[in-house]
Structure 1
């Protein structure tokens, strides 16, 4: 077998592989000899079938199997012998000429194929001692814990029917029918619906028009669905709701005590506060972690500059771009609405893709040299978390992970990355800094750590998903989101 390098340009490689016809014929004859005593052919006793007849009957199929095996196995062996790692699965090309293929299968012509791939660049690791980060830490006060407990307790708040007009904070029980153009629409009707005025659960303007109503009132409310409303047939449409108020109830006072805790399924108020404090600590800890990680990544980005495989960058860029395009399409906006142009956005997201690929390679090299591994227990826990998100689909998801090697890799990669960050935190200079909640939550837009390459559309939604994919959960956590139902469940909401 001949292995000839035909291209070595930057990270790009092309290898021509030639297996002489006589070598292919030898391999075919070996296979034929192996099956001679196993096949049964009418007119011949077992083991007495002439080799020429076997070749006539099975030669092409055996050669086809040999071709497939060579194409499947040799690229890995060739790369290992060359001491190279391919950035992606090598592309394999062979003749598409039917006559030429027939000659190869008949062992009358050399079998040739080419490998095209990009090598992973060599990375010379540098000392991490010069990396310095500030870890922001928030002290959680009893007052904040109590405030959060009261918010949690809203679900256990009781209401008592009152006479008179409804005010913000009161709960209204009502029947309603929603109409667009005078015609009732699907999902716009409900009976006995409960709504706490001022909760922001229903579309803008709906709750405000119920303030001052009382039991027995019949009202027609006019509202306009938001332009980005999930139900496209309702988005931006003016609608009326015929509302019949059945009851108005005032909220009872909430006291943080053991009785409240028991309503929430806990044994005591102390235990309730303990759980809430833990949740707040976890939330702030996640934000702190993301800011720490960003600082580390920014400094690694400055430390390492090397050519990145175009195939990996293109794959990363396409993923980012699809997210951005889908987000804009769903919101009905354009790049101009996002204070940018498509050309500028593409340029900036290409830079972001290059950064991600480069940092991914650096983190991979650091982790490999440090002996970082992802255990089977860690993988099982991560997969279990995936299963929890899709109840009733557990079997399909497990089958997917078993049948798709790339699916398991997508679970393993973020775990590995976080463990590499943990490893780096044992080597770098970390200074803890006490900050307020507001300082921790402060938006990082415009700060030096952003490097400009993170955002094609500053302050706008178009960049949100792309940033989140690089570990920007903190950005999402800063925005208070109210629960929303599907239009089919309750279109007034």
Structure 2
């Protein structure tokens, strides 16, 4: 086998490989002899058919197999002999091949992984935002919990409905004099002043008396989710059947015990601990974003175009779907396709570069993802759906593929934590509002203030 390097550019190598006809013929004949011992041909005992007849009957297909095997061997040989680290499956093209006795000439193109060297992460400096959990925050959370578990009692005196009441109403909505789907309800409980209905509706219920019927005129918002109602003028025939006053439970040990806590102090501590964990995660997420930005500034090596193409195609597909649904970001709506392609191509390149860097750091430092890591990731997902924890757990138990889809993110997070442990990270106390503001929004706010 003769190998000639024809291209050597940064992350791309190309080779011409020639497999001599004699080698191909020798391998083909050996395969044909093996075939002869396994098949029966009319007039010949097994293994006794002449090679010439075998070539006539099976030569073309066997030579095709031999050529394919030779191509695979050529790729392995080129990669091993030149100590290459392919980023993608090498591209193989047949330049010339004559099954009846000619050489097999192949063109092999290989895209390589970039060399990130041995980075010193101790030179990276960044801030990690932290915030204190105030007593006020705990009290507000307690109050929300109490509000979520409030009851109500009938208003004992005859009076008009006021903000803060719970109005039990029947209503029939009409558009152009005709009822419409979803516009009718009985015994509907409306929190007056909560803004849970079409703008202007609650204001007109306020002042009604029990057993009073009133026709209310409202206009649905232009951006209302039901297209047939968006921006339309409608009327509602409303009957107030009952007024109820909300009853919020007292914040005491009994309330805490109803939520599974030992006491009110224990419940407060649980709230404080959960909130502190939310703050820690928010600070860690922002530190991760800052770290990735520092890495993107620091490592500017070229990356394989093939990987960038794959990443960009995925981004572009999602972008075009968003465009079809008129769900593009406002900034993107004003840009041409060429501008969008340039912008998102750069994003794809950044993602590929950072992904390869993190993968290399993980490989070099033997960072792996255990089943315990996956289990912790699942539990973290459950915390995002309060009250539905068992549903989330059941989903992952029944979907092994969903569990595996967590692995890349868990791996990335472990590598990021590894780097953060070695970088110069300074804790910076900030307000809760600043902590919870996404990094991009925070940057825009700072620029605007300046």
TM over 0.5: yes
Deviation larger for 315-324 or 138-147: 315-324
2:271 is matched with which residue? 276
Q: Does 1:222 align with 2:213?
A: no
Instruction: For structure 1, list consecutive stretches of 5 or more residues without a partner in the other structure.
Output: 402-406, 453-457, 459-493
2:385 is matched with which residue? none
- Pairing partner for 1:129 from 116, 122, 142: 122
- Pairing partner for 1:111 from 104, 111, 120: 104
Deviation at 1:140, TM superposition (A): 0.7
1:292 is matched with which residue? 287
Q: Does 1:363 align with 2:361?
A: no
SS at match of 2:358: helix
SS at match of 1:373: coil
1:157 is matched with which residue? 150
Contact 1:18 1:112 in 2 (8 A): yes
Contact 2:286 2:438 in 1 (8 A): no
1:196 is matched with which residue? 191
Higher Rg of the two aligned structures: 2
1:79 is matched with which residue? 79
SS at match of 1:129: helix
Deviation at 1:417, TM superposition (A): 1.8
TM-score normalised over the length of structure 1: 0.73
Q: 1:448 to 1:184 in 2, by over 3 A?
A: closer
Q: Hey, what's the Cα distance between the residues in 2 that align with 1:75 and 1:194?
A: 72
Deviation at 1:180, TM superposition (A): 4.6
SS at match of 1:86: coil
Contact 1:150 1:254 in 2 (8 A): no
1:481 is matched with which residue? none
Q: Hey, what's the Cα distance between the residues in 1 that align with 2:215 and 2:29?
A: 90
- Listed one character per residue, the Cα deviations across residues 154-181 of structure 1 (whole Å, up to 9, x for unaligned) are 3311111225444444333344455555
1:306 is matched with which residue? 301
Q: 1:40 to 1:266 in 2, by over 3 A?
A: farther
Deviation at 1:214, TM superposition (A): 4.7
2:386 is matched with which residue? none
- Listed one character per residue, the Cα deviations across residues 267-309 of structure 1 (whole Å, up to 9, x for unaligned) are 5434433332233122211210122112222222232222232
- Listed one character per residue, the Cα deviations across residues 420-443 of structure 1 (whole Å, up to 9, x for unaligned) are 121122212222232221232345
Q: Does 1:170 align with 2:145?
A: no
Q: Does 1:144 align with 2:140?
A: no
Instruction: For structure 2, list consecutive stretches of 5 or more residues without a partner in the other structure.
Output: 383-389
Number of corresponding residues? 437
TM-score normalised over the length of structure 2: 0.79
Contact 2:149 2:248 in 1 (8 A): no
1:25 is matched with which residue? 25
Q: Hey, what's the Cα distance between the residues in 2 that align with 1:314 and 1:422?
A: 29
Deviation larger for 229-238 or 135-144: 229-238
Q: Does 1:247 align with 2:242?
A: yes
Q: Hey, what's the Cα distance between the residues in 1 that align with 2:94 and 2:209?
A: 80
Deviation at 1:251, TM superposition (A): 1.0
Contact 2:165 2:246 in 1 (8 A): yes
Deviation at 1:329, TM superposition (A): 4.4
Q: Hey, what's the Cα distance between the residues in 2 that align with 1:72 and 1:240?
A: 74
Deviation at 1:66, TM superposition (A): 4.1
Q: Hey, what's the Cα distance between the residues in 1 that align with 2:69 and 2:3?
A: 17
Contact 1:92 1:114 in 2 (8 A): yes
SS at match of 1:426: helix
Contact 2:11 2:114 in 1 (8 A): yes
